[in-house]
Amino acid sequence: MGKKKKKTYKVWCFYCEREFEDEKILIQHQKAKHFKCHVCHKKLSSAGGMLIHVLQVHKESVSKIPNAKPEREALTDLEIYGMEGIPADILAAHDGDGYDGKHTGLLHVIMGLWVSLKPNIIMYIMFVLGITLFNAG
Ligand SMILES: [Zn+2]
Ligand SMILES: [Zn+2]
C-alpha cells in the first residue's frame, strides 16, 4: 500500500488476456495468434473471417480459436477486432486499469464501482442518482 498506481491505458486481448501498450500491437497479435489459418498461415482480420477462410479454401471446419483461453476458444461467433466487440460484462469483469478510451466521466466512475463493489450497492447509488436527477429536472 501507499504506492500510487501509475495510470496506464493498456489494451488487452479478449482471447488470451495478454496486455499490450497499444491497440495496433494488439491487433497484430490477434491476427498472428488467433486469426491465422492453421493450414496456409494466412492472417485474417477476425476469428469469423478465419473460420470462413478455412471452410471455403481448405474445406475444413474450425470450432476453436487457436491460442485462446479455454473459456474463450469456443466464442467463434463474436467479431472481435482489437478492443472492439468485447461483450460489456467481460470488459467490466476485467480488472480496473484496462482500456479507458471509451469510458469517461460518470460512466467510468460507475464502471469502476461496478468492478469493485457489490451490485446491490450500485443499485442503491443508481437509485439515489435517479432521485437527484429527478429533483433537479
Ligand atoms: Zn491473444
Ligand atoms: Zn488457409
Q: For residue range 100-109, list pLDDT tens digits in order.
A: 555 567 777 7
CA torsion angle 121 108 85 16 (round to 10): -80
68 alpha carbon – ligand 1 mean position (Å): 6
What per-residue confidence (pLDDT) applies to 117? 64
29 alpha carbon – ligand 1 mean position (Å): 6
Predicted structure pTM score: 0.64
Contact 44, 36 (CB under 8 A): yes
Q: What is the mean pLDDT of residues 50-75?
A: 96
pLDDT of 51 strictly over 80: yes
Q: Which of 68-82, 84-98, 100-114, 120-134 has the lowest mean pLDDT?
A: 100-114
| 74 pLDDT tier (thresholds 50, 70, 90) | very high
In Å, how far are 7, 88, 93, 124 from 121, measured between CA atoms? Answer: 26, 19, 17, 5
69 alpha carbon – ligand 2 mean position (Å): 22
pLDDT of 69 strictly over 90: yes
Strand partners, 20: 11
Say if strands 11-12 and 19-20 run parallel, antiparallel, or are unpaired. antiparallel
